[in-house]
Structure 1
Amino acid sequence: MIDIKNEKVMINGHERMLYGGELHYFRVPREEWRNRIQKIKEAGCNMISTYIPWIWHEQEEGKIDLTGYTRAERDLNSFLKLLYEENVYCLVRPGPYVMAELKQEGLPDWVLDKYPEVIARKQDGQIHPTKVVSYMHPKFLELVSKWYKAVCEIIEPYQITKGGPIIMFQLDNEVGMLQWVTNQADYSDITLNYFRDYLIDEYKSLDNLKEKFRVNVSSFEEFAFEYTLNQEENYALPLHYEWGYFMRNYYKKYINKLKEIAEGYGIEVPFVVNIHGFTTHDLSKRGIAYPIGISQLHDTAEIDKVVLAGDYYIGNVNYDNYHDIIIANAFTKAVQSDKQPLFSAEFQGGCISDIPRLQPSAFDLNTRICVAHGMNGLNYYMFAGGENYEDIGLFGRRHEWQAPLSSKGEEREHYYKIKYLGKMFRIFEKEILSTKKATQTYLGFYPDYYMTEYFNEYTKDMVNKITAYRDHFGFNGVIRGLTVANISYEGYNLLKESEILVDKIPSLWVLTTDWMSADIQMKLLRYIKNGGKLVLFPTVPTKDFDGKDCTILLDGIDIEFKDRLHVRHELNVKGMDSVVVSYSESYQGDNIETIAVREKDKTEDITAFSKYVGDGKVVVFGVGMEFDFHYKKQVILDIAEEIELKPLVDKTDNFLEVVIREDENSKKFVFIHNYDEYARKTKITYKGQLLFDGNEIMIPPRSGVMLPINCLVYDDIVVNYSTLEIFDIIKDNKAVTLLIKTFGQGEILLTSKKYLPLNYDEIWENEDGYSYKVTIDSTDEVFKLILANRENIS
């Protein structure tokens, strides 16, 4: 059985950290399947994921091969049987869309050739440039149902609920992505009919519709078709957002329909919905656009038994982009069900091309960062390279993907990084899952600011401005500053609840633009008055999304705008001079405490301030500031101090990232990440307490460490602390050997009644047994700490 609860996956009553790899049976010779499965297992993985491409199994309508009678590599049944024999979990992904670098994104040619009516249409009636289908077209759903019936007959008996390996079933893939990347929605008659019905449900009467959009129409039908296809400036802004809300609802209907079809054919396990959005910028990758995918699929999180999962492709991790991963974690968690763990169904295991050339450190750091920040499940995509047989590949025959295993099964360098981490996560699995990221504040996620997948001549100015604010002043500005300053945050979905509870969200940082809906402005104002501490940046909204004046926050805070400056200039922030910014706005009002002023006039042009409102406090940082100079970290710390926040962790090296996962008692994992090309060292203080007995910790170049505090490692052996990383255990009847990665001198403190280190520096007895302090100073890469079973010591 499988259950999703408490941010964990429970399988047959046991908590499991999913550590998986993508293996495409249809790209690997049938006789080599077991070899790849075993190599993935040897890397510490407990799950294998695979797409099941419709294009591969039904090349002619009605002739579906899932047992290999036309070609051995189509024998899905035997592949699933191998997974069962090898005792590894499985995530199946049968589409209908799979992407997976396949032609037609995995749809058979005949679907589009024989049934062109299912293809989405542009506003002018022409075929969509990607030939993506209208998801809810009855004919398409009929064809999908036939495909699901066939594939589910194979999948159904292999579910974990039937004693098999399959623990999850993905519904479609990256829904909405093709529409977003082409700036082209689906305006087919089928979709517009759904839009009409949506409008009727939303507005009830035609008069309400007319008032909202300031149009004179004779029917909902006329507006849904004529006015949507031939937009005019006077209603373009409200229609932009109404269409976006409709599409969220439409995608939810589609996913829910697929779920109903699958359940009708016997699927009982949880369902996965995969979110898209990491993008390539020249030779680097960023997560700046990833929240667009979260916004598109926002409403699917409401579907029962659905697990949201993200695509994480960050490229080579460095000091300048690592925050994108952390923000992606925070925003995904903000939207997903409270029960589910953070999970990435496509976690960077390589890259489709050989540019950029990914370094082993990229996989090491990316994994460490995500687990540190709360991820309890990930699946490396791809884990094994392969070949596109029978001309199904979008990029030709080869599908190497810079994967840990080549198409020939050869182990590449990053295979060993993944294997190392897999071993470490396995020995501490239960302990890791019992901890959560230590969080001190929250970052507001406003999905409507990411409803920018489409724009036209009338809405592009608004879309461009919102995009510029969230990218430059959010991702690359204050939010990056919070990350670098080691102020630990989680995400909070501003759409999720009617009230923001102060005891749950004591402080909140919200990126704002000129536009914000009246209900969200009112919700934030109530939050302040009820005792919340709110930071707004880089502006205070003055309009709603219809373009109408809406100054609820401005009026509630009781301040006025003076002016706005859109050129590079300098500020004085809490006495720090020459803080260079690209935008600021000045305010005036009573009872405000000045935080920042423009250098040219330190007495009048107040660009940031704090003010008590009701029982709470607001900080308005009316500054467009990118985090492009390290001195700006002090600006972030100054703002944080205004709401009584200081970093949870103090460190003697400020260029290291330190993250804590802890339980409600004394158990902790301390994650330390070094993004530089040379070793760094630090002492760590957490909540005023010096950790690791004050020992200095050395961090290797472009890597990290996961250090346990008061964690059970085996039997009754508790690691009270270790300044070196314990990554594996060797066990026999006489002794337990801890394998420890050495990098400089280290120290480990252990407690056990049953086991005794063969060498130790100090020993003392306590109520839990005996505590042993062991100093490790070895030139070997791995130190073996042997603990003998006392029963075998004469």
Structure 2
Amino acid sequence: MPFLINVHGTGGGRGRTFPIGISQLFEAYRGQPQLTSGSDYYLGDLTVTNVTDLYVSNAFLAAVHDAHQPPMSLEFEAGNGDYGQDLSTLYPPEAIELKTRLCVAQGNRLLNLYLFAGGYNPPLAEPVGDGNDRIAFTGERHGFAAPVDPEGRLNPTYAAARRALHAVRGVADLLADSDEEDDGLALGFVPDHYLTEYHHPASASRAAQVADLERFRGMGPRDVLARALLLAGYSFPAVDLQSPLPADTPPVIALASAATLGPKVQQRLVEHLRGGGRLLLHGVLPERDHDGTRCTLLADALGLTVTGRVDDGPQSFPSVVGQRWAAGRAEVRVGYAQRLAGATAEPVLVEVGSGEPCAVEVAVGAGRALVIAADVPCDLDFWRAAVARLGVRQRLAADADGPGLVLTSTVDPVGQRLLHLVNVAPSAVTLALAWQGVPVLAGRRLRVPARTGLILPYGIRVGDATLVETTCELVSRDGNTVLLRPTQGDDEVVLATDRPITASRGSVHGTQGRVTVRLSGGPDDDPVRITVA
């Protein structure tokens, strides 16, 4: 019988503190047979504000699991958020659909909707004098925010949950044996950066250290490092930097860096660089161990020293401007800029007031590092250029007309792939996709409505044929027959086969082993049945 550990840590609609729960618990279950952890997520709605929180929380949780500990969510928020029965909160119904689509795209194998249905709390067999003498503290009823309330009535989140679970069920057999792919980039996870829940109230130095960690750790200052990477279209796992790096660690590590970083982690990053790896460091240059001892192993290897720092204030408006490949962009305001010096450092950003660099590129052995010591804005083009300097290339790229789209893909052991698109923006996004530089669907533009998502099959076996690409979502497969749900109103399905193809509607066109089924005539999402004869 497997034992499951419920990891808490979200609050106020955010997941910035969720890794505190991981840091407190992971050593109890990591690598232990028949024992694993699952998330306890209460994020409310999913928007550009917190979509990165969910993505990074999933990644950090997976980083301390082994291959026999699949990701899962043991408390997956499913209701409308009116937990206090005061109508101070009502989440949009589509929140559960967005969160479901993102979690399954990241490999979650189990989502326990909490609560899915409400009920009644019976009286205790023996009164205890606690005010209600019932088995719970919510009164006679519980789960009044659930999709199905205690009386069996459905609230608007029920239909959204149904849509999401139907979409997942159509590809369940593929998801069960698939893993998320990445772009050769991993986000560094330092569990000790989250040992901040308690500190001595009389220690000013410890309070300052905690404040520094809370500002810079995890997703980076203003959460921009992780948010920019995700909304720029990159997929990335996390890697636990306090343990030996796995053999399959991506070549580029992005780390949100505070002033505190332990010597073993610093040395591990130095070895990664000297071995030909690359490092994107965003925050401030590490300068001490967790006990306050000076530790500059990484800075010394980079050949960098800190010459000063400017912070914003009532009469201080620090700004930075680009150099070399970052030149040509407007000067931008920042909340702080740490000035850096190094004999071989190549300036990328300079602090306007002093003219000194606050972002530099440095070669270390066979590797290369990009250090950005200022809280620059979430300029997606800047961050794309930054990771491109370190050799990162998107496998799945989107030419989108606006931000808010999360892209990733999953693949099974035989190469069957699903393309996951999740639009958390409040408006529709249109885009053209490319896989490894090759246009998907001949470069046609797709429309993903506001706050919805798509799971598109890409190279899926259907009997003796291959479903090469399509604008439709998969409803089911059974032998030589596939059922697909149109998503665009003018849809197409491309198959590779020499066998005859029949479709329940639409037109079928075939040449030289490639068959296209075209479905036109307006927004009709009734499934189409395609059979390989």
**Considering the TM-score relative to the shorter chain, is it more than 0.5?**
yes
The answer to whether 1:681 aligns with 2:414 is no
Q: Would you say the 8 A contact 1:742–1:778 is kept in 2?
A: no
| Equivalent position of 1:623 in the other structure | 374
In the aligned structure 1, how far is the partner of 2:219 from the partner of 2:365?
32
Matched, 1:410 2:410: no
1:343 aligns with 2:72: yes
| Aligned residue in 1 for 2:126 | none
Equivalent residue, structure 2, for 1:297? 25
Cα deviation for residue 707 of structure 1 reads 0.5
Give the match's secondary structure for 2:91. coil
> For residues 786 and 429 of structure 1, what CA distance do their matches in structure 2 show?
19
* AA of the residue aligned to 1:384: A
Q: Which amino acid aligns with 1:332?
A: L
Contact 1:742 1:783 in 2 (8 A): no
Kindly, what percent of the aligned residue pairs are identical? 25
Tell me how far apart the structure 2 counterparts of residues 528 and 700 of structure 1 sit (CA, whole Å). 42
Q: Name the SS for the 2:455 alignment partner.
A: strand
User: Unaligned stretches of 5+ in structure 2?
Assistant: 124-133
Letter in 1 for 2:99: N
TM-score computed with the length of structure 2 as normaliser: 0.88
Q: Give, in whole Å, the separation in 2 of the partners of 1:367 and 1:436.
A: 16
Q: 2:452 & 2:140 partners in 1: Cα distance?
A: 35
The 5-angstrom pairing of residues 550-565 of structure 1 reads: 550-565=295-310
Structure 1 pair 439/475, CA: closer, same or farther in 2 (3 Å)?
farther
Match of 1:426 among 144, 153, 169: 169
Listed one character per residue, the Cα deviations across residues 131-153 of structure 1 (whole Å, up to 9, x for unaligned) are: xxxxxxxxxxxxxxxxxxxxxxx
Q: What corresponds to 2:406 in structure 1?
A: 657
Match runs of 1:593-604 below 5 Å: 593-602=346-355
Q: 2:119 aligns with which of 383, 386, 410?
A: 386
Give the match for residue 54 of structure 1: none
Q: How does 1:603-618 map to 2 (within 5 A)?
A: 605-618=356-369
* SS in structure 1 at match of 2:59: helix
2:170·2:474 contact (CA, 8 Å) conserved in 1?
no
1:211-248 per-position Cα deviation (integer Å, ceiling 9, x unaligned) = xxxxxxxxxxxxxxxxxxxxxxxxxxxxxxxxxxxxxx
SS of residue matched to 1:762: strand
**Structure 1 partner of 2:129:** none
Report the aligned-residue RMSD: 2.4
Aligned to 1:491: 238
Contact persistence 1:502–1:527 (CA under 8 A): no
Cα gap change, 1:673 to 1:472, in 2 (>3 Å): closer
1:276 pairs with one of 1, 4, 8: 8
Question: What letter corresponds to residue 348 of structure 2 in structure 1?
Answer: I
The 1-side partners of 2:43 and 2:350 are apart by 37
Q: Give how far 1:433 is off.
A: 2.9
Q: Counterpart of 2:331 in 1: which secondary structure?
A: strand
CA contact (8 A) 1:331 1:445 kept: yes
The structure with the largest alpha-carbon Rg is 1
| Cα distance in 2, alignment partners of residues 471 and 398 from structure 1 | 39
Preserved CA contact (<8 Å) 2:26 2:64: yes
Q: Tell me if structure 2 keeps the 8 A contact 1:485–1:647.
A: no
Residue 756 of structure 1 aligns with which residue?
502
**Equivalent position of 1:703 in the other structure:** 452
Pick one of 468, 473, 494 that aligns with 1:720.
468
* TM-score normalized by the length of structure 1: 0.60
> What amino acid maps onto 2:367 in structure 1?
G
**In structure 2, C-alpha distance between the alignment counterparts of 1:742 and 1:556, rounded to whole Å:** 52
* 2:181 counterpart of 1:445: no
Q: How does 1:142-291 map to 2 (within 5 A)?
A: 269-280=1-12, 285-291=13-19
Q: Which moved more, 1:741-750 or 1:504-513?
A: 741-750
| Residue of structure 2 equivalent to 1:325 | 54
**What displacement does 1:780 show?**
5.2
SS at match of 2:224: helix
Match of 1:583 in 2: 336
Q: Deviations over 1:741-776 (max 9, x none)?
A: 44431111235658632453302464xxxx531111
Which position in structure 2 is the counterpart of 1:535?
280
Match of 2:91 in 1: 358
Q: Deviations over 1:475-525 (max 9, x none)?
A: 62211111111122110001222xx36763311011221112222211211
Q: Is the contact made by 2:427 and 2:451 (CA closer than 8 Å) also made in structure 1? A: yes
Q: Deviations over 1:272-297 (max 9, x none)?
A: 111001101xxxx0111100001111
State whether residues 275 and 294 of structure 1, in contact with CA within 8 Å, keep that contact through their aligned partners in structure 2. yes
Q: Number of matched residues? A: 502
* 1:641 equivalent in alignment to 2:388: yes
Does residue 455 in structure 1 map to residue 199 in structure 2?
Answer: yes
Q: Would you say the 8 A contact 2:489–2:525 is kept in 1?
A: no
Q: 1:472 to 1:334 in 2, by over 3 A?
A: closer
Per-residue CA deviations over 1:530-584 (Å, capped at 9, x if unaligned) read 2110122211211111111111112222222110112241101221232221111
Contact 1:511–1:536 (CA under 8 A) maintained in structure 2: yes
Structure 1: gaps (5+ residues): 1-268
Q: Secondary structure at the match of 1:782?
A: coil
Q: How big is the shift at 1:788?
A: 5.4
Deviation at 1:306, TM superposition (A): 0.8
| Contact 1:637-1:646 at 8 Å conserved across structures | no
Shift of 1:334: 0.7
**CA contact 1:739–1:782 (8 Å) conserved in 2:** no
Q: 1:747 to 1:544 in 2, by over 3 A?
A: same
Of the structure 1 ranges 446-455 and 469-478, higher mean CA displacement relative to structure 2 is found in: 469-478
Distance 1:272 1:434 in 2: 21
Q: Deviations over 1:143-175 (max 9, x none)?
A: xxxxxxxxxxxxxxxxxxxxxxxxxxxxxxxxx
Matched-pair contact (CA < 8 Å) for 2:219–2:227: no
8 Å Cα contact 2:235-2:407 kept in structure 1: no
- The AA in structure 2 aligned to 1:287 is G
Contact 1:700/1:743, CA 8 A, preserved across alignment: no
Q: CA deviation at 1:467?
A: 0.9
Task: Pick closer, same or farther for the CA change 1:659–1:556 going to 2, 3 Å.
Answer: same
Q: What amino acid maps onto 2:112 in structure 1?
A: N
Partners of 1:278 and 1:313 within 8 A in 2: yes
Give secondary structure in 2 for the equivalent of 1:572. strand
